[in-house]
Amino acid sequence: MKPTTIDIIHGVLHTILEHEVPDDLFVQTAVECAIENSELLNNLPEHSRPMSTIAFHTKFPTELHAEQLELVKHPLIALLQKAVDRCEASEVLGAAKEFFTQFRRVDLHQVTARTSSQNFPDQHELLLPGTVKKHWSTNFVGGSDERLISALEAYEADFEQPDARKKYYSKLIMLIRSSGAGKSRLADTVGKRCLMITYVIRDHPGGYPPADSAICDFLSAHPSRAEADMMSPKKKTADYATATHRVYSIWAHATMIALMQSTLEELTNYIQNKSTSASSQEDVASMVYRALAPSNGRRSHIRCELYDKVVENAKNIRKRCIEEGGFRSCFDNVSGSQIRTSLQDSGCAAMSELRQAAVELKSTLEELPSSHPNLPRLIVAFDEVASLLSEDEYNIRYIALNRILSCISKGNPFWYLFMSTESKIDHLLPPDSVSSDQSKFPSHRPSSRGDFTLNRFPSFTTFACDIDDLKKNSTLYPKTESMFTFTSIGFMARFGRPLWLAFEEPQLVATEKILGTKQSKRLNPYVQQEVLAVLSNRLYLDFNMANPTTLPLAQDAVNCYMRDVISIDPSSGVLHTRTPNEPILSYSAMRHLFSDVSIWPQAIETFTQQLLDRGAIEKGEEGELFSRLIFTLSHDRLVRSHIIDGKFQPSHLTFKVRDFLHELYATEYHQIIDEIEEGILDAHMNFLSFSSTAEYLTGRSFQNLCYTLLRRSSALQLAPQQRTYDQLLPFYVGNPDEPFDTKKVGAILVQVKNRMTSSSIDLILKQCFQWPHANHLHKRFKERNYDSLLKDNPDTKILFILLDFGIKPSTVEVKKSCVNRPSVWAIHSKGHDADVFGCLKGMNVGPCIPRFFRGDFRKQFLAHRRCDPLHNILHLDTISQDVPGEAASEGSSEDVVMADV
């Protein structure tokens, strides 16, 4: 009797699983898809289907396209035929292995993209693989590739200086940035000019570019019992670590030696076989790039074949390494950095063959001319290198890779890139001075080579963001969009990391990523890190780096909560960070705070008790943090009024100045606020969050600055020593439905005071102010001796707000300037409680404000920021990064045109 489909499936899966065929998951996927396409399985009652197939189908739905089915059709038919014919198990196993070999080359991006549903179950359908592939294949914009290449050239020259080997550990650079910032794309672009081999060693499904599964399997393999016995110490002495640690250490170092040696050998063979088609090193780089680049969203056929050869060769090399007694003896002494020293000085066959492979590749490349002699001859990149970290194995794989790269750095023009998404940064870049258990972290032990420390080359943390906006605005802002466009999701996605462009609804993904979660989750207002992440993207919070308790906070914020690293101090491990100025993240933070009416009050309570009272946050000198809070609360109270059934439209994020002021101040003051000029009250605002700058505001940059802030839906905390003003909230007096006109911008300019005596608007702005209905001119200020901002923009509408927090009783006054050009209106509010600020009562945060207000003015040290996130906005979206070897005079550096990072 001919076996049924059920018999075929059961027989194939049972045979494969029983004999432990590698990656049987792929085989099972293909069998399931093939039968589904033949509509045999779907016609059966569900209870009669194989349970393994049902469970797998529920967890991992896939579809094979026609061209992919064509590739695996024949080995799949052979496999099924073996099962139908009830062949011997060995024959079915052989057919399964053949099918597995072919199917592994079908590295579907659709499959890996859909597995991201495990990370984002509610919106995995929103991911557009076609968009990811499209952006990967377009021209790279931003200039980060040029900066990285320039850095590599300078580092190469520095490394080859006399005695440089005593200064640097290896030719290694870390590329560190949070997800979606373009690390892989940057390395891919550099690979067009420099010969590059990239290993994507991601340890989880999903992501792009696709992971190199063969390399991942090789790196994660464990020794057999016989191999472990061979590597175990014969006796226990004080010089030996535990037997387990010795086995892991020898195995990990043998693995990394094998991988690097096999990479160099296979690359040499590949270049020699293609030598007739390459006349220069640049031709070789281009040839290898085209061969290894992703094709139609999946790994290329040549890449799969080459990496399969690398792994097969590496397995043999690793076997020879662990069998060699001379190599194993390098691990007899683990004191200090003795393992690395022993490997460096060893004449064992394992290290000799590795060095010889490097020499042969170097000689092969030197036979070809190069028009850029200072460029690295080879770059080996490890994407998602944090996958090598494992506490159970003392991070020995990562340590071993670093040691092996260090051993072959001298004398070879090869460089190595480690790419990471900022997670586990304390392990990837441990500080020079570490207090830790030396037996657990052998790489942290003091050097046995003398009283000096080998340096690491600086990490590369500057990446071009706002790519989409930069491409669409190659000239300086062709002002064709209307103001209402600025608050659309698609427009906001143009700013920040390119990740947002791969999603139809990026705000949903950002809502989850901002909390560092892989599953749908609401903000927990009792968890300080989640509160810090959300409020940072609204209020712009900086850590007080003078307080040592902020170091672990900064590290956690970088690891999990989308905070950006701008520099790393290698001696102390201190991270200098900033809040990313990305509208999508600000919008998502607002959504979290809207999720429940109790979120805002409890978030403020947690923030005050766990962060503000402990001096972990920079607060300003006069109460700037409190003023940013009340402005944000007023915004949210206004926007929340438009929510119906838990939903609101992004168009509601654009609102009138009148409505904003009504939400800010108590109801009893609305009548006097309405006396302000209609042109100001009817102007439109759209800020979602605050950004910060260390640049002083000038009259010449005022209009472009307001325009830029409106495009980014942002308000601005001005420089700490800025004269006259502390904050700027831009508005637009034109028609928000028509193309934007920068001549019609205006701003609410704010000064914050916290003194026991009342301040004077006249003295601050150096001109006469009077009550709205007064007609006489005050004689004290007949000459208009006002500041340069007003002088340079005489036709600009300005509303000045003076916040006198320390004055009692609470009151609000409205005045206007006695002169018409410039015509300035002013609000002078006194007090800081709900009697003056209606938003505090309206958002139910009144009870927690007194403690917040006291904490805001508690004396503290102000740590000056080392990087200004708005510096590039003020100066045509430019940012600079020092490159070794260039002039290093204070305040001077070469600019690269890019947007805010």
d(CA 874, CA 703): 11
Within 13 Å of residue 154, how many CA atoms lie on the same side as its CB?
15
Closest by Cα among 51, 442, 49, 397 to 250: 397
CA atoms of 901 and 891, how far apart (whole Å): 19
Calculate the CA dihedral of residues 299, 300, 304, 309 and round it to 10 degrees.
Answer: -140
Q: Out of 55-69, 90-104, 441-455, 621-635, which region has the weakest mean confidence (pLDDT)? A: 55-69
Distance of CA 726 to the CA centre of its chain: 30
Please state, for a pLDDT cut of 70, what percent of the chain lies above it: 64
What angle is formed at CA 580 by the lines to CA 577 and CA 581, rounded to 5 degrees? 135
Mean pLDDT of all residues in the chain? 73
CB 5 within 8 A of CB 53: no
The band of 580, judged by pLDDT with boundaries at 50, 70 and 90, is confident
Question: Half-sphere exposure of residue 578, counting CA atoms within 13 Å on the CB side?
Answer: 21
pLDDT over threshold 60, residue 437: no
Query: Which residues fall within 8 angstroms of residue 332, CB to CB, at 6 or more apart?
Result: 239, 240
From 587, 564, 455, select the one nearest 172 (Cα to Cα): 455
pLDDT exceeds 70 at position 68: no
pLDDT in tens, 7-34: 444 444 444 444 433 344 444 444 544 4
Instruction: Please give the Cα distance from 122 to 59 (Å, whole number).
Output: 14
Q: If you search the block for the tokens 């033949």, which residue do you land on?
A: 38
Helix pair angle (243-273, 213-220), 10° resolution? 150
Q: How confident is the model at residue 346 (pLDDT cuts 50, 70, 90)?
A: confident
Cβ neighbors of 33 (< 8 A, separation 6 or more) are 62, 63, 64
Each residue's pLDDT tens digit, 477-532: 456 789 999 998 888 988 887 777 767 778 888 888 888 765 557 889 999 989 99
Q: Which two tokens stand for residue 274?
A: 């293609």
* CA neighbor of 584 nearest in space, from 498, 489, 690, 652: 489
**Residue 614 three-state SS:** coil
- What pLDDT score does 629 carry? 95
- Return the pLDDT at 433: 47
Instruction: Quote the tokens at residue 680.
Output: 């100001």
Separation of alpha carbons 30 and 211, rounded Å: 19
Contact 727, 715 (CB under 8 A): yes
CA–CA separation, 272 and 364 (whole Å):
8
Q: CA 767, CA 789: separation in Å to the nearest integer?
A: 13
Does the pLDDT value for residue 284 go beyond 60? yes
Please report which confidence band the pLDDT of residue 135 belongs to, taking 50, 70 and 90 as the band edges: low
pLDDT reported for residue 169? 79
Could you give the CA distance from residue 401 to residue 729 in angstroms, rounded to a whole number?
Answer: 51
Look at residue 480 in the predicted model and tell me its pLDDT: 76
Q: Which helix (H) or strand (E) holds 587?
A: helix 583-594
The pLDDT value given to residue 257:
96
Q: Using only the alpha carbons of the chain, give its radius of gyration.
A: 32
Q: pLDDT digit string (tens) for 752-777?
A: 998 888 888 988 888 888 888 766 55
Percent of the chain's residues with pLDDT above 90: 26
Q: Are 861 and 546 in contact (CB under 8 A)?
A: yes
- 551 or 888: which leads in pLDDT: 551
The mean pLDDT of 410-436, rounded to a whole number, is 64
Q: How confident is the model at residue 3 (pLDDT cuts 50, 70, 90)?
A: very low
pLDDT at 860 over 80: no
Q: What is the rounded CA–CA span in Å between residue 525 and residue 522?
A: 9
Is residue 404 within 8 A of residue 219, CB to CB? The reply is no
Q: Are 385 and 418 in contact (CB under 8 A)?
A: yes
pLDDT of res. 87: 65
- Sheet of strand 414-420: strand arrangement: 172-176, 414-420, 378-383, 196-200
Q: Which of 100, 48, 107 has the alpha carbon at shortest distance from 78?
A: 100
pLDDT above 70: residue 400: yes
Structure-token pair, residue 520: 């749908």
CB 389 within 8 A of CB 297: no
How sure is the predictor about 778, in pLDDT bands with cuts at 50, 70 and 90? low
Tokens 């006002």 -> residue: 786
DSSP class of residue 611?
Answer: I
How distant is the alpha carbon of residue 58 from its chain centre? Answer: 31
Rounded Cα gap, residues 874 and 900, in angstroms? 10
The pTM (predicted TM-score) of the whole model is 0.68
Check: CB of residue 822 under 8 Å from CB of residue 796. Answer: yes
The string over 467-500, giving b where at least 16 C-beta atoms fall within 10 Å of a residue's C-beta and e elsewhere, is: bbbbeebeeebeeebbbbbbbebebbbbbbbbbb
| Lowest-confidence pick of 259-273, 581-595, 614-628, 766-780 | 766-780
Q: What is the pLDDT of residues 73-97, one digit of tens each?
A: 566 667 666 655 666 666 766 676 6
Per the CB < 8 A criterion, the answer to whether 731 and 685 are in contact is yes
Each residue of 523-575: pLDDT tens digit? 899 999 899 999 999 999 988 877 877 878 887 777 677 787 777 766 666 77
Which ranges in 274-348 belong to alpha helices (H)?
281-292, 301-323, 325-328, 338-345
Query: Greater confidence, 365 or 644?
Result: 365
- Position 595 scores a pLDDT of 80
pLDDT at 128 over 70: no
